[in-house]
A and B are shown apart, each in its own frame.
Chain A
Amino acid sequence: MTQEHLANINLDEPEETLSMNPKKFMLWLAIVSILMMFAGWTSGYLVRKAEGRWHEFELPQIFWYSTGILLVSSISMFLAVQYAKKDNFNALKIAISITFVFGLAFLTTQVIGFSDLIKNQLYFAGSDVAASWLYALVGLHAAHVISGLVVLLISLVSSFKFTADSKNLLRIQLCATYWHFLDFLWLYLFVFLYFNR
């Protein structure tokens, strides 16, 4: 009996303020490693571009829209965390669903962007290496967005199940951090590609 009693008390105690939640910390470290991967690719891109024989390309117009879509999804993700903290479950469900739908919409716009590139005769495995780099950077980001959508889906399902506890909140927070990171990563790539065509 005493054991259970003690465990309950411990759960109610405030979290230690000095150290970060280990899971959050691990997520940040994972983000660092993903960042290093994209740092590798973008610096490879710059090194290759500096070597010359580089065909400039136009970014598909729709990437502007996809950037806006991803920004909206990030805002709704931010709101979802706020609602989860306030135990406002109906609003949470709406916000997290919006995030998910906009995430899917982002992927769709990226695919449309690829088809625009193909219309302009720019292929992933064609003779123009600049186009290959463009496809690779956008595609590898999209692959990470898919992983983000999987995480988002898990949070979505759990928030519809009314399992409101600290574990669920942590899950939504982790999911939000990752989603904001993917948003930031796209902004970086978009600006990078825009200025380094």
Chain B
Amino acid sequence: MATETLHAIDTHVHAHDEHEHHELGFVQKYIFSEDHKTIAKQYLISGIIWAFFGGAMSIIFRLQLGFPNMDLTWLKPILGQWIVEGKLEKEFYLALVTMHGTIMVFFVLTAGLSGTFSNFLIPLQIGARDMASGFINMLSYWFFFAASVIMFASLFIETGPASGGWVIYPPLSALPQAMPGSGLGMTLWLSSMALFIVSQLMGGINYICTIINLRTRGMSFTKLPLTIWAFFFTAILGLLSFPVLLSAALLLIFDRSFGTSFFLSEIYIGGEALPNIGGSAILYQHLFWFLGHPEVYIVLLPALGITSEVIATNSRKPIFGYRAMIGSLLGITFLAFIVWAHHMFVTGMNPFLGSVFMFLTLIIAVPSAVKAFNFITTLWRGNIIFTPAMLFSIGLVSLFISGGLTGIILGNSALDINLHDTYFVVAHFHLVMGAASFFGLMAGVYHWFPKMFGRMMNKTAGYVHFWFTFVGVYAVFFPMHYIGLAGFPRRYYSFTALGNGRMEAFVDMNMFISIAAIITFTAQAIFAINFVYSIFKGKKAPQNPWNSNTLEWTTPVNPGHGNWEGEIPAVYRWAYDYSKPGSATDFIPQNVPYSATPESNFPEENEEIAKEKEIEGLLDTQNSSYSH
């Protein structure tokens, strides 16, 4: 304690030091922590655990799809009553598909990706001591945790978890008697998601507020790293779309629990008419997809942001088209809100309305192509360093393109009539949203692991993990296009009774997909072992292992509460001064003023030198903003 007090006086007391330098108990430090770095790690580890559950579920239903006649009695110790006479119970198959989707979309790729990296990188990269409200940030994680517990508990109830698909369309989801999964499982699903939405809103409000209010001196919006821009737009998407899902969910709860008919009309169950009259099931779809479509960008944008950062750093080149990258993020964010009905082309909507939504949907190809083009041109003629993070980023670009191409096909309302709800759709969104975002997540973990835990991950294991995953993902999802084109509908338990023998032609392909899925899933163990081992036993990380420009690498190797020990560094330049002509080093961090690098300055940058005094003058204002 004594040395710490000394230290505080030593480094020119700012009011901040007062509440920084006292030891926190274990509970405050690791469990109910208000430190953004700890919360980020909590999100990451929860996300990884969920990813393994979600992945394992997909393996179980892939066994059913690839090997429909297989004896699954050996799964009885895990699944118990869900294995009936050596076969997977049909209702449970639907539950598995539903829970796989829910877990992966919301718990892994929303909470695990955006929750982890927004929390971790926003304060570190914009130069802030912490989030705008550490308390709300902590609440955000614990609401997510509560949502996780409820969702997890729903796996163990007798009637099984929700099984109406991750989109939970009524009337299936609104009527407890419709299927076993629409009973208690559905109630738990809705409660869990309500908590999850509250958690995401609290997180998102914090991210936006922090980015706008707590940037360090000199960090103007045009100097923000692209990661931060991506997290910013992601948070805006979430703030505007998640509440609408909550409104849909609440009306659904009213229908389920209070007997209203918002989404129900003229339904017969077992020959008996229900009293519900006057509702509209399509209305639910409109409300759901108003969230559902932005949600895919909530999942994807952080991954694109991470990729921009990793690719620029490891190509040792400035990002190509910085402003175009921001513009395309903005364009995607805006368009995300006005394309939702392309999920509903076959609901009997007016064909004219369909063509409007088709037109808007196809426009998204433009900002997406700008991003893909800029990623590739950043790589072009760079001094590429193939770190595992870099490989995963390049993998993302590949998956983004090959999955995005089929988006253009599916966005056509006429083509969608044929392809709707087939495996073609499954292949499309798994490549462009699922796998691409997962690759972004992995790139982020490999790249920022040294900052998170002060140690390096094993590179070789990283390479092995990458190649298994990259080849595996294509082996799983590419053949699904053919299956979809052949007309296989998604979410079906078995295909043997469908097509007069024609369907059997694809039995071997389904087998191939299942085997590839099992290998890919198993290969994730390499990552898990590497991750856990490196936290405790990894090689000690240097301060700036990738020679990167952004501010997080100016903190100590293990940043404490408050991130920087002395003053927060000021920012004078953008984050992408790699391999600048004239400079002796191939990177110039953001906190290096132009006055220190006369040899590499462009003429317009020399003019910036005059403004540097101004930036330094803001120090007192900045410190005082932390004092109350």
Contact = CB atoms under 8 A, between A and B. Distances in A.
Nearest to B240: A36
Most central of A33, A44, A140 by chain B CB within 10 Å: A33
Contact of A26 (B133, B242, B621, B623): B133
Contacts of B251: 41, 44, 136
Given A3-B13, A11-B627, A37 B254 contact: no
A166 B628 CA distance: 10
B258 interface: yes
A43 B611 CA distance: 49
Interface stretch (B59-67, B259-267, B324-332, B601-609): B259-267
B286 interface: yes
B79 to A, nearest CB: 38
B385 interface: no
A140 B250 contact: yes
Given A30-B201, A125-B260, A128-B278, A7 B627 contact: yes
A132 B212 CA distance: 41
Interface stretch (B45-53, B202-210, B492-500, B520-528): B202-210
B279 interface: yes
Question: Which 5 residue pairs spanning A and B have beta carbons closest together?
Answer: A129-B278, A40-B247, A10-B627, A125-B259, A40-B244
Interface stretch (A15-23, A69-77, A183-191): A15-23
Nearest to A55: B278
A127 interface: yes
B239 interface: yes
A36 B262 contact: no
Nearest to B207: A29
Contact of B243 (A7, A19, A36, A44): A36
Interface residues of B, number: 52
B147 interface: no
A142 B214 CA distance: 35
A33 B624 CA distance: 30
Interface residues of A, number: 41
B209 A29 contact: yes
A51 B277 CA distance: 13
Interface in B205-244: 205-206, 208-210, 212-214, 239-244
A53 B210 CA distance: 48
Most central of A7, A23, A26, A47 by chain B CB within 10 Å: A26
Interface of A: 2-3, 6-7, 10-11, 13, 16, 19-20, 22-23, 25-26, 29-30, 32-34, 36-41, 44, 47-48, 51, 53, 124-125, 127-130, 132-133, 136, 140, 166
A87 to B, nearest CB: 19
Given A19-B213, A44-B286, A129 B243 contact: no
14 contacts: A3-B17, A3-B18, A6-B13, A10-B15, A13-B624, A25-B132, A29-B209, A30-B201, A40-B243, A40-B290, A44-B247, A47-B280, A47-B283, A48-B280
Given A7-B15, A25-B209, A25-B212, 12 more contacts: A22-B213, A26-B132, A32-B239, A32-B240, A33-B240, A33-B242, A33-B243, A40-B290, A44-B248, A48-B283, A129-B279, A132-B261
Contacts of B241: 36
Interface string B84-99: 0000000000000000
Given A16-B625, A26-B132, A125 B258 contact: yes
B624 A10 contact: yes
A16 B277 CA distance: 57
A124 to B, nearest CB: 6
A10 B15 CA distance: 8
B628 A29 contact: no
B243 A34 contact: yes
Most central of A16, A51, A132 by chain B CB within 10 Å: A132
A20 to B, nearest CB: 7
B545 interface: no
A29 B208 contact: yes
A40 B248 contact: yes
Contacts of B214: 22
Contacts of A48: 262, 279-280, 283
Contact of B261 (A32, A37, A129): A129
A2 B206 CA distance: 33
A36 B291 CA distance: 11
A22 B133 contact: yes
A47 B209 contact: no
Most central of B17, B243, B279 by chain A CB within 10 Å: B243
A174 B567 CA distance: 31
Contacts of A26: 132-133, 136, 205-206, 209
A127 B262 CA distance: 11
A37 B287 contact: no
A16 B621 contact: yes
B568 to A, nearest CB: 15
A96 to B, nearest CB: 24
B246 interface: yes
A16 B244 CA distance: 35
A11 to B, nearest CB: 6
Given A129-B279, A136-B254, A33 B239 contact: yes
